[in-house]
């Protein structure tokens, strides 16, 4: 790896791994990265990391993919640490001291030791694999909280008002340590099984490419934080589209009348002026457990662009339907509690707790039919899994006839539509159904489908 | 301009800009590779300050183009001074047409705007294109030519190429996604909130009269606020404001009363203030 060819090879495979995660990097950037390596040298790993990030990346969200991939291709060391960890208690002691002192470098070294000592599984003496989960289960760094807190207080490191922040700070330090252990375990595994494979499989994708259906709690929280910036972008996009749409077509009648003063020669074309449309939006959201992450996100997003529309009404359902527009308006202040509030305050379930599209859509057509008119665009959000009950196609047909457009956004992979209890193909015949698995797909779809 | 990355940090620090390793490395590379630097990040973390600091270090003139919706070629690049041209025409009545024409389209009647100013002349310059995301997409197209070849074409005069490349810094708040083409021509730098230790040094540098332990508490409280899910988290500018406020109030230590009274300096939304009050236990007296 110290030879020039070795570095070049390492660099191009790093770029390859990043491309596999959907980061677009051209040859020009790779050349720039190589020039950066030349200028910075290979002596300092952190400088190299920043240098490559600056030349290869184009956006903020890509950084969290880049860092783990970089750790794999330019590892801190090879193999295990020089001395084996003495024992669990000894390691915990030293970990507690490092957490109390907030010493990043020491935490990194301890993570290496911890994975080496407790992460290996399979036949001894050489392990078959390395598991961060197993390391953390045996080490249990979260149980050190009280001890570290008392240590810090004992040394007089925290007093007065800021003392109340201490516990949260230590929790954050423990989180850092967990991330370090995960990175170290990935590195050890990569040494055994080939770096390219691990880089492709074990590195989490950027937040906007995570499947809604499989996103964990932390990922959903991260997504929710992107709602506001995303909404702002969508709003500018919609405004630009509206500006463009308001000019272009020639108003023939007024052009000809204008041409009378120039002897019938149309000198000044008059463009047709669009009547300002007042589009209305109705959202029908499945908020049952399986798809609630997707519905939440979409509801917040639509609420955030609501000032672009004359009217936005949002309905939530599991097997009964209820209007939640008001809840959502207050929900923007506290997006985390939104789904809990909807579950608590709206009547969403009848006799049982599983979702029933047929019943909910039927009830909507019956009770809230007047919410849909010729200016309304309806979005249905859900996976169309009806739990084997009647999909109630006439109700959907009725909604589709009244509305200007009806779109169905399905967070499931297209290949899985129609499997099991999914009624997706039946619904897709009546209304336009789009696959919408990630935040990136959603923002593209919303930008394209929202009425101007 | 710079020899090593450490050299960048040291010289920026002399001007009062404490750079994180990421910032120093990227500035070093931008100088070495001669590429523009695109800086993104939340408001108030010192994106614009970075350009000013680099200009001061390099002893260069700072040329600033502030972008806004509707900024156009005549604001960004150049414009002919029409009034002066008219005066010139009426002053020389008995000239031939050819003489007048060559004369009124000469340097004398050219009003250079920031982009053209930055690439003309031999003195070192730092070009700051501020809030690039506020400008329209058309302006981005304009920037592409300037940033990749450092040249501008004025039809009446010909192509003007930079004899000395300026150090270019573009800033963006990401209110609009910049085009891929523009991003590809730049080095990308995200400036986030600084680490605790760095922020403490920044506070000490900007508000030297503040007590060491108080500075430590200030930074810790701000760190805790950033970890909450707020509508607008406080950034470095607000930390410094808060430190100054505490100094002006003559507070030696933080306590509930002081924090509650001055929370408005850090948080700009009522919801955020309520949330922070609850989480920091400011009500429990």
Residue-range domain boundaries for chain B: 5-70+114-190, 78-112, 196-279
CATH code at A323?
3.40.50.410
Contact check, Cβ <8 Å, B217/A29: no
Tell me which of A126 and A330 has the higher pLDDT.
A330
Last residue of a domain, one of A73, A101, A118: A73
Q: What DSSP designation does B35 have?
A: -
pLDDT value at A168 more than 70: yes
Q: Is residue A210 part of a domain?
A: no
The CA distance from A229 to B41, in Å, is 12
Say if residue A232 is in the same domain as residue A334. yes
Contact check, Cβ <8 Å, A169/B220: yes
Contact check, Cβ <8 Å, B25/A225: no
**Phi, psi angle pair for A154, to nearest 5°:** -60, -35
Say if residue A315 is in the same domain as residue A437. yes
The CA distance from A288 to A381, in Å, is 11
The CA distance from A329 to A311, in Å, is 13
A227 neighbourhood in chain B, CB within 8 Å: none
The 10s digit of each residue's pLDDT in A408-431 is 988 888 888 888 888 888 888 888
Tell me which of B199 and A120 has the higher pLDDT.
B199
Chain B interface, best mutation among A34, A70, A162, by max B CB count within 10 A: A162
Percentage of chain A beyond pLDDT 90 is: 6
Q: What is the pLDDT of residue B47?
A: 92
CA distance B93 to chain A (A): 34
pLDDT value at A40 more than 80: yes
pLDDT interval class at B51 (50, 70, 90): very high
Q: Which of A40-49, A233-242, B87-96 has the highest mean pLDDT?
A: A40-49
Total domain count, chain A: 4
Q: What is the pLDDT of residue A86?
A: 65
pTM of the entire structure? 0.74
The CA distance from A301 to A119, in Å, is 41
Percentage of chain B beyond pLDDT 90 is: 41
Q: Quote the tokens at residue A390.
A: 């009647």
Q: Which residues of A lie closer than 8 Å to B, measured between beta carbons?
A: 24, 26, 28-29, 32, 35-36, 39-40, 44, 46-47, 50-51, 53-55, 57-60, 63, 160-162, 164-165, 168-169, 172, 221, 225, 229, 232-233, 236, 333, 335-336
Say if residue A171 is in the same domain as residue A185. yes
B259 neighbourhood in chain A, CB within 8 Å: 161
Contact check, Cβ <8 Å, A54/B223: no
Residue A336: its H or E element:
none
Q: Is residue A39 part of a domain?
A: yes
Answer positive or negative: Cα dihedral of B262, B266, B269, B271: negative
From the number of C-beta atoms within 10 Å of its C-beta (0-12, 13-18, 19+), residue B168 rates as: buried
Q: What is the pLDDT of residue A175?
A: 87
CA distances from A420 to A384, A388, B183, B213 (A): 11, 9, 45, 63
Say if residue A341 is in the same domain as residue A410. yes
Say if residue A312 is in the same domain as residue A442. yes
Say if residue A26 is in the same domain as residue A52. yes
A169 neighbourhood in chain B, CB within 8 Å: 220, 223-224
pLDDT interval class at A244 (50, 70, 90): low
Tell me which of B154 and A156 has the higher pLDDT.
B154
pLDDT interval class at B261 (50, 70, 90): confident
CA distances from A198 to A118, A183, A190, A203 (A): 21, 11, 6, 7
Q: Is residue A27 part of a domain?
A: yes
- A241 near A277, Cβ under 8 Å? no
User: Across the interface, which of A35, A46, A229 has its CB nearest the CB of B21?
Assistant: A46
Contact check, Cβ <8 Å, B177/A233: yes
Say if residue A256 is in the same domain as residue A379. no
Q: Is residue A190 part of a domain?
A: yes
Q: What is the pLDDT of residue B241?
A: 93
Say if residue A348 is in the same domain as residue A237. yes
Q: Quote the tokens at residue A409.
A: 């956004």
The 10s digit of each residue's pLDDT in A332-357 is 666 667 777 777 777 777 777 788 88
Say if residue A182 is in the same domain as residue A33. no
Contact check, Cβ <8 Å, A233/B29: no
Say if residue A184 is in the same domain as residue A305. no
3-state percent helix, strand, coil for chain B, nearest multiple of 5: 50, 15, 35
Q: Is residue A222 part of a domain?
A: no
Q: Which residues of B lie closer than 8 Å to A, measured between beta carbons?
A: 5, 21-22, 25-26, 28-30, 32-33, 35, 40-41, 174-177, 180, 183-184, 187-190, 216-217, 220-221, 223-224, 227, 229, 231, 253-256, 259, 271, 280-281
Say if residue A264 is in the same domain as residue A300. no
Tell me which of A150 and B81 has the higher pLDDT.
B81
Q: Is residue A58 part of a domain?
A: yes
Say if residue A353 is in the same domain as residue A410. yes
Contact check, Cβ <8 Å, B190/A63: yes
pLDDT value at B285 more than 50: no
A335 neighbourhood in chain B, CB within 8 Å: 229
Tell me which of A312 and B186 has the higher pLDDT.
B186
The CA distance from B1 to B7, in Å, is 10
Percentage of chain A beyond pLDDT 70 is: 88
Q: Beta-carbon neighbour count of residue B72 at 10 Å?
A: 14
User: Across the interface, which of A29, A160, A169 has its CB nearest the CB of B217?
Assistant: A160
The CA distance from A28 to A10, in Å, is 17
The CA distance from A113 to A79, in Å, is 11
Q: Which residues contact A359 (CB under 8 A, 6 or more apart)?
A: A319, A320, A350, A389, A392
Question: Which residue has 């991003």 as its token pair?
Answer: B183
Contact check, Cβ <8 Å, A51/B26: yes
Q: Which residues contact B37 (CB under 8 A, 6 or more apart)?
A: B26, B27, B30, B167, B168, B169, B170, B186, B187, B189
pLDDT value at B260 more than 80: yes
- Topology of domain B5-70+114-190 in CATH is Rossmann fold (3.40.50)
Residue A253's domain comprises 249-275
Tell me which of A247 and A55 has the higher pLDDT.
A55
Q: Is residue A207 part of a domain?
A: no
């Amino acid at each position: 790896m110290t030879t020039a060819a070795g570095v070049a090879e390492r660099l191009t495979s790093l770029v390859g791994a990043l491309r596999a995660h959907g980061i677009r990097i051209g040859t020009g950037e790779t050349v720039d990265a190589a020039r950066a390596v030349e200028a910075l040298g290979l002596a300092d790993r952190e400088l190299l990391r920043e240098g490559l990030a600056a030349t290869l990346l184009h956006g903020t969200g890509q950084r969290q993919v880049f860092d783990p991939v970089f750790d794999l291709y330019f590892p801190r060391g090879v193999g295990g640490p020089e001395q084996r960890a003495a024992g669990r208690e000894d390691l915990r002691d030293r970990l507690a001291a490092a957490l109390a002192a907030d010493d990043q470098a020491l935490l990194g070294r301890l993570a290496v030791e911890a994975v080496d000592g407790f992460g290996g599984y399979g036949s001894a003496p050489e392990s078959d694999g390395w598991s961060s989960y197993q390391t953390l289960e045996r080490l249990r760094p979260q149980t050190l909280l009280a001890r570290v807190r008392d240590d810090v207080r004992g040394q007089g490191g925290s007093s007065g008002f800021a003392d109340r922040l201490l516990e949260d700070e230590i929790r954050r330090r423990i989180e850092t340590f967990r991330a370090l252990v995960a990175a170290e375990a990935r590195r050890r595994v990569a040494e055994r099984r080939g770096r390219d494979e691990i880089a492709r499989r074990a590195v989490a994708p950027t937040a906007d490419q995570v499947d809604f259906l499989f996103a964990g709690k932390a990922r959903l929280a991260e997504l929710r934080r992107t709602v506001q910036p995303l909404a702002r972008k969508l709003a500018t996009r919609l405004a630009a589209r509206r500006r463009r749409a308001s000019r272009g077509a020639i108003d023939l009648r007024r052009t000809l009348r204008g041409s009378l003063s120039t002897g019938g020669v149309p000198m000044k074309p008059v463009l047709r002026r669009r009547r300002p449309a007042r589009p209305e939006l109705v959202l029908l959201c499945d908020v049952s457990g399986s798809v609630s992450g997707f519905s939440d996100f979409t509801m917040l997003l639509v609420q955030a662009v609501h000032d672009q529309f004359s009217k936005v009404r949002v309905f939530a359902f599991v097997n009964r339907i209820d209007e939640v527009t008001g809840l959502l308006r207050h929900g923007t202040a506290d997006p985390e509690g939104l789904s809990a509030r909807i579950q608590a305050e709206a009547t969403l379930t009848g006799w049982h707790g599983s979702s029933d599209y047929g019943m909910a859509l039927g009830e909507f057509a019956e009770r809230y039919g007047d919410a849909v008119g010729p200016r309304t665009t309806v979005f249905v959000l859900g996976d169309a899994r009806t739990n084997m009950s009647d999909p109630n196609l006439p109700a959907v047909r009725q909604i589709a006839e009244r509305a200007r457009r009806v779109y169905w956004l399905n967070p499931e992979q297209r290949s899985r539509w129609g499997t099991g209890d999914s009624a997706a193909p039946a619904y897709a015949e009546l209304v336009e159904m789009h696959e919408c698995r990630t935040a990136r797909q959603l923002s593209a779809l919303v930008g394209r489908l929202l009425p101007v | 301009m710079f020899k090593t990355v450490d050299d960048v940090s040291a010289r920026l620090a002399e001007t009062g800009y404490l750079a994180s390793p990421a910032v120093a490395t990227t500035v070093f590379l931008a100088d070495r590779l001669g590429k523009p630097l695109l800086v993104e990040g939340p408001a108030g973390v010192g994106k614009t300050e970075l350009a000013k600091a680099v200009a001061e270090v390099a002893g260069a003139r700072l040329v600033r183009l502030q972008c806004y919706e509707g900024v156009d070629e005549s604001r960004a690049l150049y414009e002919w001074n029409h009034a002066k041209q008219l005066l010139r025409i009426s002053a020389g009545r008995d000239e031939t047409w050819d003489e007048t024409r060559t004369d009124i389209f000469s340097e004398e009647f050219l009003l250079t705007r920031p982009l053209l100013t930055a690439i003309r002349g031999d003195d070192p310059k730092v070009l700051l294109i501020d809030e690039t995301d506020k400008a329209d997409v058309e302006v981005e197209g304009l920037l592409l030519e300037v940033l990749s070849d450092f040249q501008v074409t004025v039809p009446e005069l010909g192509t003007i190429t930079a004899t000395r490349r300026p150090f270019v810094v573009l800033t963006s708040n990401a209110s609009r996604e910049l085009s891929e083409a523009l991003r590809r021509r730049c080095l990308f730098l995200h400036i986030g909130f600084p680490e605790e230790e760095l922020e403490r040094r920044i506070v000490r540098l900007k508000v030297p009269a503040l007590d060491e332990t108080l500075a430590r508490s200030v930074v810790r409280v701000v760190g805790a606020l950033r970890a909450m899910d707020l509508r607008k988290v406080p950034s470095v500018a607000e930390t410094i404001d808060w430190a100054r406020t505490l100094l002006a109030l003559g507070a030696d230590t933080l306590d509930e009363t002081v924090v509650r009274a001055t929370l408005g300096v850090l948080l700009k939304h009522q919801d955020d203030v309520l949330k922070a009050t609850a989480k920091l236990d400011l009500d429990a007296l």
